[in-house]
Amino acid sequence: MSSYEYYNFPIQLVQGFMEDSKQSLLNISHYCIYRIFYENFEKYDGTFTGYQRACLDFGMEYKNVAEAYKNGMELYNTTIDKSPMVGMSSTVYWDYFTNEKTEFERICLLGDLAFKSILGAKSYIKLDNKYWFSRIDGSVKSIDKEFLSEKVRRFLNEYQTKKIKNELIANWGLASYSRYNRGFYISYKMTLDDLAYHAEKIRKSSRDKKIKEEVKTAHEKALERLAREQQN
């Protein structure tokens, strides 16, 4: 049993999850355990080495401890300063690690992690499906559809994206709002009513700003026109 409620890791570690979820989860455990060891090793003593104690705290036993250590160190050193982080609850981790999951169940987990990696500490944010699916595929930056992995790409259509969002809304705590605008708003902290309020407030502010700019432009053109007439 793990001593940690959440496992925090770089979003890049979900790459390949749809093809081999077990290996991706092992990579996440390698990273997390090495991070636990590296950041807390001075606290460990007694009958366990620091890394063995970190494995015990995580709730993981490896057949090849040296290989797990090496992989975790490489993942930690190559991503720690270059990636958005995301947290997965230990309950979800072990559920997906020990139980067989359908492709839809796997893509829903990735969808949830992708949203949370984009949100970070923010209460809500606006994004589009392109950026969302880029993160689902473990990419930090937004990438075009043709560069997504095949099993992720097949879910990037109107029917599937709506189905995933609806599942996350129904069972994963997501609030999502989109109406007459490009992209959509998401939050895990706000109610749908509050999210809609903020989205419409932003839309109204943008609309008012656009109108103000149009009036300003029209005013400047009118003055220029009057000046030309006076010259003639």
Indicate whether 203 belongs to any domain.
no
**Mean pLDDT, residues 173-178 taken together:** 94
Q: Please give the Cα distance from 87 to 120 (Å, whole number).
A: 10
Q: What's residue 173's pLDDT?
A: 96
Look at residues 162, 138, 137 and name the one whose alpha carbon lies nearest to residue 152. Answer: 137
Looking at the structure, tell me whether residues 110 and 188 fall in a common domain: yes
Indicate whether 216 belongs to any domain.
no
Q: What's residue 198's pLDDT?
A: 84
Number of domains in the chain: 2
Mean per-residue pLDDT over the chain, rounded:
89
Q: Which residue has the tokens 């939050």?
A: 187
Higher pLDDT residue, 65 or 96?
Answer: 96
**Mean pLDDT, residues 157-180 taken together:** 94
Q: What is the DSSP letter of 126?
A: E
Domain boundary among 71, 98, 125: 98
Residue 43's domain comprises 6-98
Looking at the structure, tell me whether residues 14 and 90 fall in a common domain: yes
Looking at the structure, tell me whether residues 167 and 136 fall in a common domain: yes
Indicate whether 175 belongs to any domain.
yes
Indicate whether 228 belongs to any domain.
no
20-63 tens-digit pLDDT: 999 999 999 999 999 988 887 766 654 557 888 888 888 888 88
Looking at the structure, tell me whether residues 75 and 132 fall in a common domain: no
98-138 tens-digit pLDDT: 999 999 999 999 999 999 999 999 999 999 999 999 999 99
Q: Please give the Cα distance from 201 to 211 (Å, whole number).
A: 15
Q: What's residue 42's pLDDT?
A: 61
Looking at the structure, tell me whether residues 85 and 14 fall in a common domain: yes
- Checking if the pLDDT of 171 tops 90, the result is yes
Indicate whether 198 belongs to any domain.
no
Looking at the structure, tell me whether residues 142 and 71 fall in a common domain: no
Indicate whether 207 belongs to any domain.
no
Indicate whether 30 belongs to any domain.
yes
- Checking if the pLDDT of 208 tops 70, the result is no
Q: List C-alpha distances in Å: 219 to 20, 208, 211.
A: 61, 16, 12
Looking at the structure, tell me whether residues 142 and 94 fall in a common domain: no
Looking at the structure, tell me whether residues 172 and 129 fall in a common domain: yes
Looking at the structure, tell me whether residues 86 and 119 fall in a common domain: no
Q: What's residue 227's pLDDT?
A: 75
Looking at the structure, tell me whether residues 34 and 112 fall in a common domain: no
Looking at the structure, tell me whether residues 82 and 114 fall in a common domain: no
Q: What's residue 209's pLDDT?
A: 67
Q: Please give the Cα distance from 68 to 58 (Å, whole number).
A: 13
- Checking if the pLDDT of 170 tops 80, the result is yes
Q: Output the furthest CA–CA distance in the chain (Å, rounded).
A: 97
Q: What's residue 154's pLDDT?
A: 96
Looking at the structure, tell me whether residues 126 and 170 fall in a common domain: yes
